[in-house]
Chain A
Amino acid sequence: MLRYALLRLLGAIPTLFLVIVLAFLMVHAAPGGPFDDERVLPAEIEENIAAAYHLDEPLHKQFIRYLSGLVHGDLGPSYRYRDHTVGELIGTAFPVSLKLGAMAMLLALVVGVAAGSFAALRRNTLLDRSVMAVAMTGISIPIFVIAPLLVLLLAVRLQWLPAGWSGNVGATKFVLPVIALALPQIAYIARLTRASMIDVLASDFVRTARAQGLGTTAVVRYHALKPALLPVLSYMGPAAAAILTGSVVVEEIFGIPGLGQFFVRGALNRDYTLVLGIVVFYAALVVLLNLVVDILYGVIDPRIRQR
């Protein structure tokens, strides 16, 4: 098992390296410098600025400098928020996003698995069809359409929940963002669970369990649920990536001071180092989560480990 985990870990390193190289090259291939749109400065001062940010060095030197900074956990200074390093900005903003994302993921898992299982158990009934129709809609409609519609209905019209973030204390401010973030994932997980549950329910060991006189609840709980959840588990990696992407939009709509908002602001302000740092951070996070899912998969399903 340890060998399997170590092998997976080693496999993740080239991926991470590829990410860093790609992101670094994209930013540095940009025409013009990061300070071009400011007022015209004397050549000397421009040279000094370039030297201060090491922009005068050849590209490979800059890359090695960036890489060694990364290894030490230093993502460099922000070009726009002059008093902060990129690391500090990520450090303050990420916990907010993490809290939001974790809650959305939990909600998506619980509701998605429950809805998918019920649909599978009542296959081809009205309940099944309506759950699947809703799921299809949930998958098709993007989060930046769902979120404003939720706000319009529940916050502006009915005034049940707060629409914004600032000025609201307590848990209610989390409700709408978390639901908006979770909905597409609920839909996807429900579809996945339904499909794999139908497969599992048709298998021999379930038939044996039924023949021994076990009720539906017991069959599902003790025999069918675990194997049916394997595809859902392997979807956790992509789901995390999707929630990350969604959080960018949700934080923008609800005005939540998380990492996604910093990312969008950074992108609009052309804050090269901040955007580069966040992309590297996001990519590392996704690679890491995929790694965790892979290892978990190995823990749960021994057949995978032997390959």
Chain B
Amino acid sequence: MKALVDIWHRVRRSRSVLVSGGVLAGIVLVALVGPLVSPHDYLQTNFDALLQRPTASGFHLFGTDDLGRDLFVRSMLGVRITILVAVVASIVSLVIGVAYGAIAGYVGGRVDAVMMRFVDTLYALPFIFFVILLMVAFERNFLLIFVAIGAINWLDMARIVRGQTLSLREREFVDAARMTGVSTRDIIRRHIAPNLIGVVIVYVTLTIPQAILVESFLSFLGLGIQEPQTSLGALVHAGVNQMEGASWMLLIPAALLASILLCFNFLGDAMRDVFDSRSSR
């Protein structure tokens, strides 16, 4: 907990963290509240109002799509799903990466060498194609998307956690725990893992935009989130098909996706700077 408070105090002073974090919080807030207060439903088609332009004061704030569905509600639904997938996938990659890295780093020696060699091997592979293969082989459901995306993003986390663990295990309190007969499992769980929280939080911020990228890539190709559900990637795809007559169908989800990704990347970069200055002090 102290590590968390410490990080919060440092992060609060960084302007780019506040700006990008603020923009993100704003987008998420509108995505959560917007569909609740809007008179429209994301499923409700209206054939009298196909491809309506966005109007600031009008009935459809972001216009409508080629089936007459309200684009504001659909975009906000897309933001929700995109962020949900990204967060859950990041948690999956966090669990795998922390467990893998902590074990490799703590056990060390030959086990460590073999485990990290395996990670190096996986690094060389174009993982996204394996995810697509998974999507082809199994029914495309939400759970699989979460797990598949999480399962490809854990490599960085494993490396970083391993490095941190290697230095942690030489510390006196770990020696003390070992001497009093605490089992390896409990040492990792109770003494190593809590000290990793700082690094992990920083790198999760960097994992989230990668997960967003993978999800929207899949949805763009029609292999991710399926209709009538939607995500920003799927909305961009629909926009591409309509861009000659209805450019807003492309521009609005594209702008949302771009700003979310940009904010997460700035946030992650700034967090890393905060973290690095801490470790180099």
The judgment on whether A and B are partners is: yes
* Residue numbers in A under 8 Å from B139 (CB-CB): 31
Contact B133 A27 (CB under 8 A): yes
**Binary CB contact string for chain A from 236 to 248 against chain B (1 if under 8 A, 0 otherwise):** 0100010011001
B67 interface residue, CB < 8 Å from A?
A: no
Q: Which of A137-188 contact B (CB under 8 A)?
A: 137, 139-142, 144-145, 148-149, 151-152, 156
A19 interface residue, CB < 8 Å from B?
A: yes
B221 is contacted by which of A14, A30, A249 (Cβ under 8 Å)?
A249
A128 interface residue, CB < 8 Å from B?
A: no
B128 interface residue, CB < 8 Å from A?
A: yes
Total residues of chain B contacting the partner, CB 8 A: 40
* Residue numbers in B under 8 Å from A31 (CB-CB): 138-139
Q: A30-B138, A148-B236 are in contact. Are A286 and B126 (CB under 8 A)?
A: yes
CB of B265, distance to nearest CB on chain A (Å): 5
* Residue numbers in A under 8 Å from B243 (CB-CB): 148, 151-152, 156
B101 interface residue, CB < 8 Å from A?
A: no
Contact B254 A156 (CB under 8 A): no
**Binary CB contact string for chain B from 12 to 44 against chain A (1 if under 8 A, 0 otherwise):** 000000000000000000000000000000000
B204 interface residue, CB < 8 Å from A?
A: no
Contact B133 A26 (CB under 8 A): yes
Q: A19-B125, A31-B138, A137-B262 are in contact. Are A142 and B133 (CB under 8 A)?
A: no
* Residue numbers in B under 8 Å from A156 (CB-CB): 243-244, 247
B126 is contacted by which of A27, A145, A283 (Cβ under 8 Å)?
A283
Contact B124 A286 (CB under 8 A): yes
Q: A141-B262, A148-B236, A156-B244 are in contact. Are A267 and B132 (CB under 8 A)?
A: yes
Contact B265 A139 (CB under 8 A): yes
**Binary CB contact string for chain B from 101 to 142 against chain A (1 if under 8 A, 0 otherwise):** 000000000000000000001001110111011111111000
A26 to B243 Cα, complex, angstroms: 37
Closest Cβ neighbor of A147 among chain B residues:
B240
Among A31, A237, A263, A267, the most chain B Cβ lie within 10 Å of the Cβ of A267
A26 to B247 Cα, complex, angstroms: 39
* Residue numbers in B under 8 Å from A245 (CB-CB): 126, 128-129, 217
B258 interface residue, CB < 8 Å from A?
A: yes
Contact B126 A244 (CB under 8 A): yes
Interface-side segment among A42-50, A119-127, A219-227, A272-280? A272-280
Prevailing SS type, chain B contact patch: helix
Closest Cβ neighbor of A260 among chain B residues:
B221
Closest Cβ neighbor of B123 among chain A residues:
A238
* Residue numbers in B under 8 Å from A233 (CB-CB): none
A27 to B132 Cα, complex, angstroms: 11
**Binary CB contact string for chain B from 216 to 248 against chain A (1 if under 8 A, 0 otherwise):** 110011110000000001001101100110010
B133 is contacted by which of A15, A268, A279 (Cβ under 8 Å)?
A279
A149 to B254 Cα, complex, angstroms: 9
CB of B204, distance to nearest CB on chain A (Å): 17
* Residue numbers in B under 8 Å from A287 (CB-CB): 124-125
A264 interface residue, CB < 8 Å from B?
A: yes
A74 interface residue, CB < 8 Å from B?
A: no
Closest Cβ neighbor of A272 among chain B residues:
B136
A22 interface residue, CB < 8 Å from B?
A: yes
Contact A283 B213 (CB under 8 A): no
* Residue numbers in A under 8 Å from B126 (CB-CB): 241, 244-245, 282-283, 286
B130 is contacted by which of A14, A23, A139 (Cβ under 8 Å)?
A23
* Residue numbers in B under 8 Å from A89 (CB-CB): none
A26 to B129 Cα, complex, angstroms: 12
Q: A156-B243, A268-B223 are in contact. Are A141 and B132 (CB under 8 A)?
A: no
B145 interface residue, CB < 8 Å from A?
A: no
CB of A28, distance to nearest CB on chain B (Å): 8
* Residue numbers in A under 8 Å from B138 (CB-CB): 30-31
A67 interface residue, CB < 8 Å from B?
A: no
A268 to B226 Cα, complex, angstroms: 12
B261 interface residue, CB < 8 Å from A?
A: yes
Q: Which of B253-275 contact A (CB under 8 A)?
A: 254, 257-258, 261-262, 265-266
B257 is contacted by which of A145, A252, A263 (Cβ under 8 Å)?
A145
Given contact pairs A30-B136, A137-B258, A286-B125, enumerate 13 new A-B contacts (beta carbons under 8 Å). Answer: A15-B121, A18-B121, A30-B138, A141-B258, A142-B217, A148-B243, A152-B251, A156-B243, A245-B217, A252-B221, A253-B240, A267-B223, A283-B129
Top 9 A-B pairs ranked by shortest CB distance? A30-B137, A140-B262, A140-B261, A140-B265, A145-B254, A144-B220, A148-B240, A279-B129, A141-B258
**Chain A to chain B contacts (Cβ below 8 Å), 7 pairs:** A18-B121, A26-B137, A27-B133, A145-B258, A149-B250, A245-B129, A282-B126
